[in-house]
Amino acid sequence: MTATDAAPGSATAGTSLTDLRMVWRMRAFEEKVRELRLAGDAVGSIHLGIGQEGVATGASGLAGPQDAVFATYRGHSWAISCGVPVEALFGEILGRDTGINGGRGGSAHLTAPAYRFFGENSIVGAGAPIACGAALAGRHDGSDRVALTVFGDGAMNQGAVHEAMNFASAFSLPVVFLCENNSWSELTPIDEMVRDPELFRRAAAYGMPGERIDGNDPQEVRERLGDAFEVAREGGGPTLVEAMTQRLVGHYIGDADQYRRPGERERDAEREPVALLTRRLRESGVSDDEITAAESDARAEMEAAAAAALAAPLADPATAKEHLYA
């Protein structure tokens, strides 16, 4: 099934409003992170997923307490999806001792196992084999664990991802492989790097189900990804889901982002999750006051959380060697 073949999500107005609130929480968080980075309060390389929030929003709540989620270095929204407190996320990105990892991980390496978020990975595609390990461990410890590994379209060409899909399929491991296809592999369009740009078709080579969905529609993500979780939990093995989305910003903060194709920005602005959900809510008769409140409430939450993180003490370099050994 392709994104264009899929039926529209059957979300109610209440569900769509809840989804819009989550999308705005993720977007307001990342827009505040960008502001902090440009002001020099945050340092280092930071990759934003602005525009891709529909995927993480739709996945919110699917992973149980025993499950494991692995993201890329563009993983802030996935941490929020797993319930990690935003003040602790700001603290981590700002290098504060109140950060979720005590200021040690920064933007690209933060992790929160207590929230089943086993972190980001700056090696492209490296989360996939690690997810196989988590799934295999779940088989032996009786936890009924499903591992969700998230990666971009560019990572689909990484050998580690192919090895992970083959391993998971050969041993029927409960792994959900989720490709967030924003059509850009860093600064290169994916359709110039592959012969068949419908990446979900690769699943057939590994004997696993694969499908392409609309990653901008949280309800569709929830339904289709939920099916993949159910298959994995019932012993049916892995699934590859290709979620079509877009990033509305450059590959990283500081990217001049001048490589876009003609008309791309206009198309993206029409289909990104805020635009999609806003249209759906208005068509359902939801008032503009309720719709705009989703944004204003999210921005107020992020302003307060960022201010609290900025007021916290910086991480003490003397503690850098702590937590290295059990």
Both tokens of 149, joined, read 């590994």
Both tokens of 266, joined, read 């206009």
pLDDT of residue 3: 41
Q: How many residues does the chain have?
A: 326
Per DSSP, helices labelled H in the chain are 13-39, 53-59, 76-81, 86-93, 127-141, 159-170, 218-233, 264-271, 273-283, 288-311
pLDDT of residue 325: 81
Minimum mean pLDDT among 176-180, 243-247, 257-261, 297-301: which range?
Answer: 257-261
pLDDT of residue 288: 96
- Alpha-carbon dihedral sign for residues 300, 304, 306, 310: positive
Cβ atoms within 10 Å of 35's Cβ, excluding its own: 14
Assessment of whether the complete model's pTM goes beyond 0.85? yes
Tell me how far apart the terminal alpha carbons of the chain are, to the nearest angstrom: 47
Counts of helices then strands in the chain (DSSP H, E): 10, 7
Contacts of 80 (CB under 8 A, 6+ apart): 22, 25, 26, 29, 56, 86, 89
pLDDT of residue 9: 46
Dihedral angle, C-alpha 137, 140, 143, 147, nearest 10 °: 30
Contact 111, 97 (CB under 8 A): no
Please state, in angstroms and rounded to a whole number, the distance separating the CA atoms of residues 275 and 269: 7
pLDDT of residue 163: 98
How many CA atoms lie within 13 Å of 235's alpha carbon, on the beta-carbon side?
1
- Phi then psi for 124, rounded to 5 degrees? -60, 120
pLDDT of residue 320: 85
Both tokens of 92, joined, read 């981590």
C-alpha pair distances (Å), 166 with each of 163, 180, 201 = 5, 20, 14
Please state, in angstroms and rounded to a whole number, the distance separating the CA atoms of residues 39 and 321: 29
Predicted confidence (pLDDT) at residue 215 exceeds the cutoff of 70: yes
User: Mean pLDDT score of the chain, rounded to an integer?
Assistant: 94
Predicted confidence (pLDDT) at residue 151 exceeds the cutoff of 70: yes
Per DSSP, helices labelled H in 64-205 are 76-81, 86-93, 127-141, 159-170
Split at pLDDT 50, 70, 90, the class of 35 is very high
Both tokens of 291, joined, read 């719709």
Mean pLDDT for the stretch of residues 125-146? 96
Split at pLDDT 50, 70, 90, the class of 322 is confident
pLDDT of residue 10: 57
Please state, in angstroms and rounded to a whole number, the distance separating the CA atoms of residues 305 and 296: 14
Q: Look at residue 184 and give its three-state secondary structure.
A: strand
pLDDT of residue 324: 83
pLDDT of residue 169: 98
Predicted confidence (pLDDT) at residue 147 exceeds the cutoff of 70: yes
pLDDT of residue 6: 37
Please state, in angstroms and rounded to a whole number, the distance separating the CA atoms of residues 269 and 260: 13
Contact 50, 249 (CB under 8 A): yes
